[in-house]
Structure 1
Amino acid sequence: MKAFLKNYRQAPRKVRLVAGLIKGKKVDEAIPMLDFLVKRAGFPIKKLLLSAVSNAFQLGVKKENLYIKELRVDKGIIMKRMMPAAMGTGHRINKRTSHVTLVLAEKTEKVKKGKLVNKVVSTVVKETKSKKVSTKKVENKK
């Protein structure tokens, strides 16, 4: 479940500040964080996250099981502009853009069947042994 935001008109180093906050979080935790974030990149990344959730929903994955596996911010094209300076010269201004890639994954609980079965079997065996012992003691007292 992927979503892309290309040529977002903000410098990558500013967008990475927002990306670092929500990377690895569950989707249900990340959306409210982006709602109350003061940074300008918060709103576009929230829209990107909701787009990725919608893509996952199309594949039949529940929102509750999703977490942000990867959130990568790469540099996009650089628009070059000139600022007039003294004596007819000009200074170059670089207007940087970002490419944002968001990858969601489904988090499932992994249960090792062998160990779980062994624990259940061992507790059942202990309980049956203790019950047998207690019944023998009761019979001996009579």
Structure 2
Amino acid sequence: MEIIAQTKYIRISPKKVHALARATIGLNPQLAIDRLTLLGNKASRVLAKVILSAFSNAKKNANLDPKLLKIKSIETGKGPFFKRWNPVSRGMAHQIKKRTSHIKVILEEIKEVHGA
């Protein structure tokens, strides 16, 4: 069974979130949240919130055992960007792109295997 949580239009560059997302795939959600809270940067706080949301959905809505969950995938996508202008010399201006991200976390239940 798959549990999905997503957030959109988060004001952080997708490149920064994607680096952390790759490191957390395959981990237990509780372990991933613990590791991300130790980092303390903005990308880790945002990613931890989305993983916590998916983890809570699995416990409350699907009644799944938290120990039997793992992060199947984390999709980070580009959202729209805000255009800002920085004035420079000779009456010109350079464009600044304030990028946004879409983040989607998919958890899956691990099947218990009883060894013989």
**Pairwise same-fold verdict (TM > 0.5):** yes
Instruction: Name the residue aligned to 1:38.
Output: 40
Contact 1:18–1:39 at 8 Å: present in 2 too? no
CA distance in 2, matches of 1:56, 1:26: 12
Deviating beyond 2 angstroms after TM superposition, the runs of 4 or more aligned structure 1 residues are 109-112
Q: Displacement, 1:111?
A: 5.4
Q: Structure 1 regions of 5+ residues with no counterpart?
A: 117-142
Instruction: Name the residue aligned to 1:59.
Output: 62
Q: Higher relative contact order at CA 8 Å, sep ≥6: structure 1 or structure 2? A: 2
Q: Which has the larger radius of gyration?
A: 1
CA distance in 2, matches of 1:13, 1:111: 41
Counting matched residue pairs gives: 113
Instruction: Name the residue aligned to 2:27.
Output: 25
Q: Structure 2 regions of 5+ residues with no counterpart?
A: none
CA distance in 2, matches of 1:84, 1:28: 46
SS of the equivalent of 1:108 reads: coil
Which structure shows the higher strand fraction? Answer: 2
Aligned residues: CA RMSD: 1.5
Query: Could you tell me the TM-score, scaled by structure 2's length?
Result: 0.90
Deviation track 1:5-50 (CA, whole Å, cap 9, x = no partner) reads 1011111111111112211111232121011013321111111111
Query: Could you tell me the TM-score, scaled by structure 1's length?
Result: 0.74
Instruction: Name the residue aligned to 2:71.
Output: 68
Identical columns (%)? 35
- Does 2:99 correspond to 1:96? yes
Contact 1:34–1:46 at 8 Å: present in 2 too? yes
Contact 1:12–1:75 at 8 Å: present in 2 too? yes
Which structure shows the higher helix fraction? Answer: 1
SS of the equivalent of 1:77 reads: coil
CA distance in 2, matches of 1:17, 1:59: 29
SS of the equivalent of 1:87 reads: coil
